[in-house]
Structure 1
Amino acid sequence: MTYQEVTDIGSQALLGRLCGRAARVELFEGHARAGDVGVAKAAGDELPWNTP
């Protein structure tokens, strides 16, 4: 088993945004939202689908 780790916060945010877009194109909304949460943690982005 292998894995990769992204240690730079800026790179984590960019990768999360990219993965979220790719997941939405494939209609994997759950995966996209998981990527959104990662970006929110890394870069402080808003979660537009998580409104009170």
Structure 2
Amino acid sequence: MTTRRVYYIPLALLLAAAAALRPAPAGAQVQLTLTPYMVKGAARAPVTIVEFADYQ
């Protein structure tokens, strides 16, 4: 192995560990308004799936 390659592997591991320990950024909160014709199922369902689609 060359000297350059020997230093590259520990540096890559260090950067990966630093990225893994960094806290995840907070997600943006979005308020959605759904009209009744856009909803299917019970309002108190345990799981809600929202699909964003582009039909172009």
**With structure 2 as the length reference, what TM-score do the two structures score?**
0.33
**With structure 1 as the length reference, what TM-score do the two structures score?**
0.35
Please tell me whether Structure 1 or Structure 2 has the larger radius of gyration of its CA atoms: 2
**Larger helix proportion, structure 1 or 2?**
1
Q: Determine which structure has greater relative contact order: mean sequence separation of CA pairs < 8 Å that are 6+ residues apart, divided by chain length.
A: 1
